[in-house]
Structure 1
C-alpha cells in the first residue's frame, strides 16, 4: 500500500468562506472535487484574534490545542509564524514526525531547501513548524530518497513570479512523489507559498501580478495533486488558517480551512486539533492526551 502524502497548505481558507471572485473560482479539476467532498474546519478554537501558522500548524502536527498553551492564565493566544519555546517543546516531543520515528515508521519532508536557507538557519534558527518537527525528530532536510519539491510549485520566487515549470511538469513531480510514497509511511509537502501571496492582498484588490500568481499557484497545487492521484498515492490536504482565499485583505482570516483526502477516512473532525488526532490515528497512534505521547514539559 502507498504511504500517505500530506499537502500542508499554508494560508488557504475553505471555498465556502471565500468571497466572490476568489482563487477557488477557477478550473481545479483534481483539487476542487476533493475539497468539496471533504470538510471545513474551525481554526479559531474559541480564542479571539486571527489564527497564526505557529499554533495552527502545531495543532495539525500534534493533535493538541496548541492555542490554549499560549497566552496567560489559560486564555490562549494565536501565535506565529514560527514556533517559539513553548511550541518547540510541544513539537519536539509530540509532533507526528517524532512519534512516527519512535514507532519505527518512515517519514520525510519533501521540500527542497537551498544552501542559503540552511546557512541562514545555522546562523539564526527560525524554522517553521514542519521543518522544525522533522529536524527535531532527527530526520534530515532534503532527504535523498524523496524528489525535491519547491514550495512555489514552479513559480519564480520573486515578483512577478514568472513560471519556471509548466503545469505538466508539476504534475510529473506529483507522480514521482507518489512513487517515493510507496517506500514511506508519510511524506509531507509544506506549501507555505500560498500564505506569502495572500499577504500581498489589498483592500482595493490585488495587483494584476499578485492575482495572476495567486490563481496560478492554486492551479499548481491542482496539478501536483493530479500527479499524485495518477501515481496511486493516498493524499490528505489541510491548511493552518485562511488568507489566500481573500485577496481583498493582506491579513490572515478567520475562514474555516479544508480537510480533504483520497484513500483516507476523514472521520468527524470539527477543527484543526481533531484533524491532527485523526491523521495520527491513521498510523495507529493514540491522542497525546490519552498518554500515547508525552505532553510538553512545563516552562522553567
Structure 2
C-alpha cells in the first residue's frame, strides 16, 4: 500500500475522554467525523504513571511495547534505550531498508539544526519522529515535499491570538493539504509530526486559561483544514496520538485519556492500544511485527 499520509498528533486525547467545554467542543466538520468513526485506544498499557511522548511515539513507530522496554513511561525525547529500539525497528527504518519511499514533511528551521549541533554529545533533544527518520538515513526538510511547520501557523508562544487572520490561515492549510496529497502520491509514506498540541496542553491550569483554550481550539480547526485539503485531493490518511493532554486543559500535565486512531481509505482493524495500532501501521506496508 502506498500514498499514505500519517498525521501523528502529540498530546491530543480522544474526545470521548474530554471534559465538557474542551477543545473538541466546536464544529470540526472533517476531523471529528473521522475521529468518531475510528478507534479509541489505551495509551497507559497497564503501567502506572502518565503516558509520555518518548515511549508513546515509540509504540506507534515500532509496534513494540516501548513502555515495558523502558520499564516505565518515559519522555519527551528518546534516550539510549529507545534510540536503539527506533534504530532497529522504527517504521521509517524498516521501510527504507525495504526500498520504500518515505519522508517526514515537517519544516525544521535553521535554529533547530544549530541546536542539534550545539548539543552534540549531550542528551538527545530530538523527538522520536525526526530521530527515526534520521536513523533511516533520510533527510529532514526533504526536497520535493511542501514542508509544514508543526504550529500550523500559530505563534510558538504566548500571545497565540488564534483567531487573528484565521480564515486566511485555514484556507492556506486546505491548499497545503492538497499539495501534500500530491506529494504523497509519489511516496509510500509521508508523515507529519504534529507536536504543537502537546505544547499547548502544557499551558493548562485548574482554572482553564482562556487563551490556551482559544489556541487549542484554533489548532484543531487548523488540523481540520489540513485534513480537509488532504481528503479533498484524494489522499489516504491515518491519524494518531501518543497520549492525552490538550483535551483536558484543567491540568498542565499529561492525562490518562484514551487516544484516537483514525483513517480514511485504510483498514484500521480492531486494536485496543497504541502497540497494536503500531503493528497495524506496519501491516499496511506488508511488514510483519518486528
TM-score, with normalisation over the residues of structure 2?
0.95
1:202 match:
205
Q: What pairs up with 1:38-53 in 2 under 5 angstroms?
A: 38-53=38-53
1:238 match:
240
State the secondary structure of the residue aligned to 1:166.
Answer: helix
Q: What pairs up with 1:103-252 in 2 under 5 angstroms?
A: 103-124=98-119, 125-162=124-161, 166-206=169-209, 208-252=210-254
**Cα offset for 1:162?**
3.8
**Cα offset for 1:145?**
1.3
Over the residues paired in the alignment, what is the CA RMSD in angstroms?
1.1
Q: What pairs up with 1:40-79 in 2 under 5 angstroms?
A: 40-70=40-70, 76-79=71-74
Q: What is the rounded CA distance, in whole Å, between the counterparts of 2:130 and 2:161 in structure 1?
A: 26
Query: Does 1:92 find its partner at 2:95?
Result: no
State the secondary structure of the residue aligned to 1:188.
Answer: strand
Is the CA contact 1:200–1:210 (under 8 Å) kept in the aligned structure 2? yes
Q: What runs of 5+ residues in structure 2 fail to find an aligned partner?
A: none
**Cα offset for 1:2?**
5.7
Q: What is the rounded CA distance, in whole Å, between the counterparts of 2:160 and 2:4 in structure 1?
A: 30
Is the CA contact 2:22–2:213 (under 8 Å) kept in the aligned structure 1? no
Runs of 4+ in 1 over 3 A off after TM superposition: 162-165
Aligned residues: 282
2:76 match:
81
2:261 match:
259
**Cα offset for 1:237?**
0.4
Which stretch shifts more, 152-161 or 128-137?
152-161
Is the CA contact 1:160–1:210 (under 8 Å) kept in the aligned structure 2? no
